[in-house]
Amino acid sequence: MKIGFSDSQKKFRDEIRGWLEKNVPKTPLNSFDTKEGFEEHRDWEKKLNSGNWSMVTWPEQYGGRGLNLIEWLIFEEEYYRAKAPARVNQNGVFLLGPTLMEYGSDKQKEKFLSAMATGEHIWSQGWSEPGAGSDMAAIRTTAFKKGDKYIINGQKTWSSRAAFADWTFGLFRSDPESERHRGLSFILVPLDAEGVTVRPIPQLDGEPGFAEIYFDDVEVDVSNLLGGEGEGWSIAMATAGFERGLMLRSPARFQETASKLLSLYFKNKDNLSGSIESKVLQSWLRAEAYALNIYQTASKLMAGKKIGPESSLGKVFWSELDHQMHQTALDILGVSSELEEVEADDVAGWIKGYMFSYSGPIYAGTNEIQKNIIAERLLGMPR
């Protein structure tokens, strides 16, 4: 055990810090869930890519920097420290990208990876359907093969970023006779294809962060099938693992929120009760505990160990923490906490984050599903 950063890790930190200080926009971009903001964020992805910072964990052969997990955590810490824009293409860079590298053909990698890295293709996710939420194996949207095309019919929903994105990836039923998780295929679909209708769904903050996607005899070339036909479920499980696991939820985000909460607390301390104090303290403690756990997990992975259902532990932990932190901030702000446009004490940021924090325990597999996984697969309790 050696806890602390090496000289080369410190040097790397300085390098990314320097680049971000020079390049992060001085005024925050508009939300990426607005048309204008989406394009601003696409430009930011392009900018990141110009410095070779857009997909740092990708191997060098795919244009990345091949960073190991510890370096990636450092990158994320600096990214949040610099208050750099949110990643509009996280579905692509962190979910589809690694999946493509593992399951994609050379042609697919060539076609999609660099367009993803430059922000030319922004990706949305297409998992859930009206009848398939937590029970994803109940998927009914079909993609039947006809010649060298798949003909897609049906409906996806809660598709993050789909309102303005260029492509979607998801699971479709390719075998008409199949049931449950058999006979599903992982297919990439351009959202400008004929027969695709995207209906944006405004979220709690009023912005269309997700959308319904209707498929009406949409023709997609068979070359857009990822992996083998009918192998979609196991590929999707690998993708879900990336999502629940390390890649999307670096601890920096929660640690920065916890520090911001502490500052807010100390500024207003004289008027606050003990229960607020203990929640503030607990927020900081738990954000640190999360970070330490992730560093330990990253070290284990780098030493060649695997993680499986353990990632469910973290998903419940960070999503509950994020909600508690925002709830506590609003309790400190009191009567001004409802004023969405007030910039003092970043009321606007807290209320937006508070709304978003309600979604954490739901997306990427609800916390109830995660607890089932923990009980059944880690504790060995019966199904």
Tell me which residues are annotated as active site: 243
**Residue 80 engages other proteins in binding (rule: CB under 8 A):** yes
* Listed ranges 93-101, 107-115, 185-193, 250-258: which one lies at the site for other proteins (CB under 8 A): 250-258
- Full DSSP string of 93-131: IIIIHHHHHHH--HHHHHHHHHHHHHTSS-EEEE--BTT
> Within positions 333 to 372, which residues make up the interface with other proteins, using CB under 8 A?
368, 370-372
Report d(CA 169, CA 191) in Å as an integer: 10
Q: Which of 26, 146, 306, 383 binds other proteins (CB under 8 A)?
A: 383
* CA-wise closest residue to 117 among 62, 67, 166: 62
- The DSSP call for residue 236 is H
DSSP string, 129-181: BTTBSS-GGG---EEEEETTEEEEEEEEEEEETTTT-SEEEEEEE--TT--TT
- Pick the closest to residue 51 from 18, 25, 73, 8 (CA basis): 18
Give the residue with the Cβ less far from other proteins, 73 or 163. Answer: 73
Q: Toward other proteins, which CB reaches closer, 146 or 305?
A: 305
Chosen residue from 114, 259, 336, 337 binding other proteins by CB under 8 A: 259
> Residue 229, by phi and psi: left (phi above 0), alpha (psi -120 to 50) or beta?
beta
Task: Candidates 281, 330, 348, 362: give the one binding other proteins (CB under 8 A).
Answer: 281
Alpha-carbon span 113 to 6, nearest angstrom: 31
Is 78 one of the binding residues for other proteins (CB under 8 A)? yes
* Helix axes of 35-50 and 106-118: crossing angle, nearest 10 degrees: 110
Residue with tokens 């208050």: 83
Q: Is residue 53 within the footprint of other proteins (CB under 8 A)?
A: no
Least Å from the CB of residue 369 to other proteins: 10
Q: Does 244 bind other proteins (CB under 8 A)?
A: no
Asked if 262 interacts with other proteins (CB under 8 A), we say yes
Q: Label residue 364 exposed, middle or buried (CB < 10 Å: 0-12, 13-18, 19+).
A: buried
What count of other Cβ atoms lies within 10 Å of the Cβ of residue 353?
Answer: 19
* Shortest distance (Å) from residue 53 CB to other proteins: 17
Comparison of 15 and 310: residue with beta carbon closer to other proteins: 310
Among 77, 166, 243, 345, binds other proteins (CB under 8 A): 77
Give the binding range for other proteins (CB under 8 A) out of 163-171, 213-221, 231-239, 254-262: 254-262
The angle that helices 347-357 and 311-333 make with each other, rounded to 10 degrees, is 140
Q: How far is the CB of 321 from other proteins (least distance, A)?
A: 9
- By CB under 8 A, tell whether 67 contacts other proteins: no
Q: What minimum distance in Å lies between the beta carbon of 268 and other proteins?
A: 13
What is the nearest approach in angstroms of other proteins to the Cβ of residue 2?
5
Q: How far is the CB of 72 from other proteins (least distance, A)?
A: 12
| Residue 82, Cβ density class (10 Å: 0-12 exposed, 13-18 middle, ≥19 buried) | middle
Instruction: Output the smallest distance, CB 257 to other proteins, in A.
Output: 10
Residue 292 or 339 having the CB closest to other proteins: 292
CA-to-CA dists, residue 294 to 19, 81, 188, 324, 364, angstroms: 25, 18, 31, 20, 18
134 touches other proteins by CB under 8 A: no
Site for other proteins in 283-302 (CB under 8 A): 284-286, 288-293, 295-296, 298-300
Distances 10 to 64, 74, 296, 343 between C-alpha atoms, Å: 20, 9, 19, 34
Q: Which residues bind other proteins (CB under 8 A)?
A: 1-6, 9, 13, 70, 76-78, 80-81, 251-252, 255-256, 258-259, 262-263, 266, 277-278, 281, 284-286, 288-293, 295-296, 298-300, 303, 310, 313, 316-317, 368, 370-372, 374-376, 378-383
